Amino acid sequence: MATTAINLTPRDFKGKSNPDWCAGCGDFGVLNAIQRAVAEMGFRPHDIMTVSGIGCSSNLPGYINTYGMHTLHGRSLAMATGVKMANHEMNVIVTGGDGDGYGIGGNHFTHTARRNTDLTYIVMNNQIYGLTTGQVSPTSSIGMNTKSTPFGNVEQPVNPITSAIMNGATFVARAYSGDVRHMADLFQQGIRHKGFSIIDVFSPCVTFNLTNTHDFFKERVKKLEDENHDPSDWKTACEKAMLFGDTIYTGLFFQGDRPSLEDVEPILSKGGPLATRPLGLGKDDAQKIIDRMM
């Protein structure tokens, strides 16, 4: 959490660069919701590290005023884990897309959930590879026509909600980018949660996915909160997460209570963050290491 009380607005978290997303892209709503969430929580820009991989949505660290890393395709969670282990007092938010997170980054997704690392992972799920102009992605629906599946997708899509729950994530939610207030509230809950938090966001690609559009979701999304869903009931959470028809649920599916990686790693239990501890090397030894690396 922020170290001192200070009143900032979402505008204070505006980055130096303006987004270059297509007009109407759902990612604008996600950026707005993150800025709103961290401002309302009383954070300052240097309280947060934003990490991403590669893709349209992964450009987000350049559009927000925090520490940021734009890393390798599918490797954002690995990089973010390194940040968190080096400074476990830092609030680390990871942003990316479905191809980056559930495709090439699927292995890291699985093991970050298993380890329950204290990260907040926001995935802008547009069900298409947008940056490379419209190929089938891990979350594209069966039968979907794309540049790489002109006769229809034949592969079963990944279900990130059930995958996250089964792999051990302790905060699993879904949002729709057209509902910024609801999305910002879920982001705040995820950031406050101690453990691996994932919020999968339906973020329509208005250029290359003309199937799962804003109109498509507006007619179907229904909040779990309106049905008094019990987030501790993982079985019902999975059942509701598997619905993708006339009703598609958003909200908090599952929240568990399990120690995070930082809580069970003995070296982090005393002495403060590794990044602020004395190096334990004399100047001569440190210089030898530097010389050898240069």
Domain 10-268, CATH class in plain words: alpha beta
Q: Residue 7 — very low, low, confident or very high, per pLDDT cuts 50/70/90? A: confident
Q: Residue 269 — very low, low, confident or very high, per pLDDT cuts 50/70/90? A: confident
* Average pLDDT for 44-63: 97
Cα–Cα distance between 206 and 175 in angstroms, integer? 18
pLDDT at 285 > cutoff 60: yes
Cα–Cα distance between 133 and 208 in angstroms, integer? 7
113 in Cβ contact with 198 (< 8 Å): yes
More confident residue, 271 or 101: 101
Q: According to the model, what pLDDT value does residue 219 have?
A: 96
Cα–Cα distance between 192 and 37 in angstroms, integer? 11
Q: According to the model, what pLDDT value does residue 2 have?
A: 46
pLDDT at 5 > cutoff 80: no
- At 168-221, the pLDDT tens digits run 999 999 999 999 999 999 999 999 999 999 999 999 999 999 999 999 999 999
Classified as helix, coil or strand, 61 is: helix
163 in Cβ contact with 123 (< 8 Å): no
Q: Residue 270 — very low, low, confident or very high, per pLDDT cuts 50/70/90? A: confident
Q: Residue 1 — very low, low, confident or very high, per pLDDT cuts 50/70/90? A: very low
The structural domains of the chain, with segments of one domain joined by +, span 10-268
Q: Residue 215: is it exposed, middle or buried by C-beta count within 10 angstroms (0-12/13-18/19+)?
A: exposed
Structure tokens at 247: 């009703």
Classified as helix, coil or strand, 201 is: strand
* pLDDT, averaged across the chain: 95
Tell me the HSE value of 165 on the side-chain side, using a 13 A CA sphere. Answer: 22
69 in Cβ contact with 82 (< 8 Å): no
pLDDT at 16 > cutoff 90: yes
Which pTM does this prediction carry?
0.93
- At 132-143, the pLDDT tens digits run 999 999 999 999
